[in-house]
């Protein structure tokens, strides 16, 4: 990062800064476009990470090394990890359907985007942004010191308000994520009864046991040599099915299986929305985490 | 490397984010596009701070980051609550106010 500081502190038209800018501009714009166009939410998250990292380096080039580090730590480290956590809960296999629910929405959005680009481009073009002023005292090695002086003197009131905002946000997230338990927590005795009554008292077989490969996506072999469908996780089975069909098999929106496995037995039988949805939702019995679909693999 | 280049890049990224918000229907991806727009505005703040060679723009960008972090926390909690109620993260499924 010292290179970025030196570049920014020196003459702003130096060759290194321009090379860095053009390379990072191309990377960030193409990653942003890919984020809008990618169908899977995980790809969007990874491409957003690319955009944020290249923006962090651009901050360093523009003489803001502190912001570059905050960008990497806060955005790429915290915010994006939060996104990925929620993505794993909501269902990593979830895809956007490409069916337009509002007729002509995509075309209208494209036209609006071009119009916005023209408008902002005209504004920026008319603004007559000149060359950068010679770097002041807050640039270069004194960046953090200058920012600290500003934050704790001129901007001390917004800084204090930020504390209230963060506490409110944390409380709000806790309230929103809280789920009231409507049924009593099942005791160990009830769970045992449920398990014996469910028809399969033993644990499910592990994948790949004594099969040709010891891999999670390979079904275990039964004593008679036939593969055991129960041994493969329903998420992997659904993904393989989808890959075999060339992406034509629609997944249930939001990946029921991921949530069913994560949310425990008190979630089972909560309503009709989980059952009969797709290949994974159909076989989900009253066990929630314990029961596996019967007919996942064809 | 004049600040106008940075501002132009910020404009392009902002428009990409805006189009993404309009086009996509997964609530998580819409949130990511909002983050992209916030980042683009931050880049413009940093560029203008460089233009005037003072640090106020960088302080504002710092505050934008803090607000964005708080916004992401609350927004993702809302998406989680929505997903729990409707088993879907698509904004098309959250249409209860329509009827």
pLDDT tens digits along A43-91: 999 999 999 999 999 999 888 899 999 999 998 988 999 999 998 888 7
Chain A contact probe: residue of B1, B4, B22 with most A CBs at under 10 A: B1
Residue pair B52/A136 in contact (Cβ under 8 Å)? The answer is: no
pLDDT category of residue A276 using cuts at 50, 70 and 90: very low
Helices (H), B1-99: 3-23, 27-52, 56-86
State whether B19 and A36 contact (CB < 8 Å).
yes
The answer to whether the Cβ–Cβ distance between A97 and B90 falls below 8 Å is: yes
Whether A25 has a pLDDT exceeding 90, the answer reads yes
Q: Calculate the CA B47 to chain-centre distance.
A: 18
CA A181 remoteness from chain centre: 28
What does the pLDDT read at residue A256?
40
Alpha helices in chain A (DSSP H): 2-9, 15-37, 41-61, 65-70, 80-90, 105-126, 143-152, 156-177, 188-197, 234-244, 256-262
The 10s digit of each residue's pLDDT in A147-194 is: 999 999 999 999 999 999 999 999 999 998 888 888 889 899 999 898
From the list B23, B62, B74, which residue is nearest A169 (CB)? B74
How big is chain A, counted in residues?
298
- Compute the distance between CA of residue B76 and CA of residue B82 in angstroms, rounded to an integer: 10
Most confident residue range from A125-139, A150-164, A204-218, A282-296: A150-164
Is B25 in contact with A61 (Cβ distance < 8 A)? no
Å between A149 CA and nearest CA of chain B: 10
Extract long-range pairs of A262-267: CB within 8 Å, 24+ residues apart: A262/A89, A262/A289, A263/A288, A264/A288, A264/A289, A265/A186, A265/A191, A265/A194, A265/A289, A265/A290, A266/A181, A266/A183, A266/A185, A266/A186
Return the pLDDT at A281.
37
Q: Contact A87/B28, CB-based, under 8 Å?
A: yes
Q: Which of A120-124, A216-220, A237-241 has the highest mean pLDDT?
A: A120-124
Q: What is the pLDDT of residue A254?
A: 40
pLDDT score for B61: 94
Q: How far apart are the two ends of chain A, measured CA to CA in Å?
A: 54
Which chain A residue shows the shortest CA-CA distance from B83? A90
User: What is the distance in angstroms between the Cα of A31 and the nearest Cα belonging to chain B?
Assistant: 10
Contacts of A51 in chain B (CB under 8 A): 13, 36, 39
Contact assignment for A86 to B76 by CB distance below 8 Å = yes
- Which residue in the set A91, A176, A253 is minimally distant from B78, CB to CB? A176
- In angstroms, the CA A286 to CA A266 distance is 9
Looking at the partner chain, which of B22, B28, B53 has a beta carbon nearest the beta carbon of A83? B28
* Most A CBs within 10 Å, among B32, B38, B63, to test the A interface: B32
**Cβ(B89)–Cβ(B28) below 8 Å:** yes
* pLDDT level of residue A97 (50, 70, 90 thresholds): low
Q: Average pLDDT in the A219-230 region?
A: 81
The predicted pLDDT at position A94 comes to 63
Task: Check: CB of residue A290 under 8 Å from CB of residue A195.
Answer: yes
Which tokens is B97 given? 């106010």
Residues in chain B: 99
Going by the DSSP 8-state scheme, the letter that residue A135 receives in this structure is P
CB contact under 8 A, B32 and A48: yes
Residues of A in contact with B3 (CB under 8 A): 62, 129, 131-132
Count Cβ atoms within 10 A of the Cβ of residue A12 and give its class: 0-12 exposed, 13-18 middle, 19 or more buried. Answer: buried
The answer to whether the CB atoms of A173 and B31 lie below 8 A apart is: no
SS3 B50: helix
pLDDT of residue B3: 85
Under a CB-based contact definition with an 8 Å cutoff, are residues A81 and A48 in contact?
A: no
Residue A237 near residue B71 (C-beta atoms within 8 A): no
Q: Does residue A127 carry a pLDDT above 50?
A: yes
Residue A265 has pLDDT above 70, yes or no: no
The complex's ipTM? Answer: 0.92
Judged by average pLDDT, the poorest of A141-145, A150-154, B56-60 is A141-145
| A55, A124, A168: residue with CB nearest B43 | A55
B85 touches A: beta carbon within 8 Å: no
Interface list for B 11-40 with A (CB within 8 A): 11-20, 22-26, 28-29, 31-33, 35-36, 39
- The nearest alpha carbon in chain B to A143 belongs to B55
- Cβ(A158)–Cβ(B73) under 8 Å? no
How many Å apart are CA A220 and CA A216, to the nearest integer? 9
Do A113 and B22 contact (CB within 8 A), yes or no? yes
Q: What is the DSSP letter of A143?
A: H
Give the residue from B80, B95, B91, B28 showing the smallest Cα distance to A176: B80
Q: How far apart are CA A297 and CA B81, in angstroms?
A: 32
The minimum CA-CA distance between A189 and chain B, rounded to whole Å, is 28
Q: How confident is the model at residue B44, as a pLDDT?
A: 93
B14, B39 in Cβ contact below 8 A? Answer: no
């Amino acid at each position: 990062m010292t290179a970025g500081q030196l570049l920014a502190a020196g003459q702003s038209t130096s060759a290194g800064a321009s090379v860095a800018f053009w390379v990072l501009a191309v990377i960030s714009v193409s990653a942003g476009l890919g984020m809008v166009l990618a169908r899977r939410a995980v790809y969007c998250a990874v491409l957003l990470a690319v955009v944020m990292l290249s923006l962090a380096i651009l901050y360093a080039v523009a003489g803001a090394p502190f912001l570059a580090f905050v960008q990497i730590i806060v955005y790429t480290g915290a915010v994006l990890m939060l996104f990925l956590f929620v993505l794993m809960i909501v269902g990593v296999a979830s895809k956007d359907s490409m069916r337009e629910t509002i007729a002509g929405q995509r075309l209208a959005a494209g036209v609006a985007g071009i119009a916005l680009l023209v408008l902002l481009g005209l504004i920026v073009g008319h603004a007559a942004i000149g060359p950068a002023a010679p770097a002041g005292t807050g640039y270069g090695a004194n960046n953090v010191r200058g920012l600290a002086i500003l934050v704790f003197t001129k901007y001390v009131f917004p800084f204090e308000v930020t504390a209230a905002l963060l506490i409110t946000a944390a409380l709000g997230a806790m309230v929103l994520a809280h789920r009231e338990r409507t049924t009593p927590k099942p005791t160990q005795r009830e769970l045992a009864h449920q398990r014996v009554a469910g028809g399969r008292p033993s644990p499910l077989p592990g994948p790949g046991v004594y099969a040709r490969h010891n891999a999670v996506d390979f079904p275990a072999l039964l004593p008679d040599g036939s593969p055991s469908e129960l041994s493969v996780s329903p998420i992997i089975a659904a993904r393989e099915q989808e890959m075999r069909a060339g992406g034509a098999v629609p997944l249930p929106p939001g990946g029921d299986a991921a949530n069913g496995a994560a949310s425990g037995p008190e979630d089972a039988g909560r309503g009709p929305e989980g059952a009969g949805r797709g290949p994974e939702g159909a076989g989900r019995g009253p066990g929630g985490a314990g029961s596996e679909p019967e007919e996942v693999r064809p | 490397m004049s600040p106008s280049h940075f501002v132009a890049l910020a404009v392009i990224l902002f428009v990409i984010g805006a189009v993404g918000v309009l086009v996509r229907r997964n609530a998580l991806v819409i949130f990511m596009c909002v983050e992209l727009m916030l980042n683009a505005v931050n880049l413009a703040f940093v560029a203008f701070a460089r233009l005037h060679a003072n640090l106020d723009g960088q302080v504002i960008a710092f505050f934008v980051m803090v607000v964005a972090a708080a916004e992401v926390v609350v927004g993702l909690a809302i998406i989680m609550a929505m997903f729990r109620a409707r088993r879907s993260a698509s904004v098309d499924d959250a249409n209860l106010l329509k009827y």
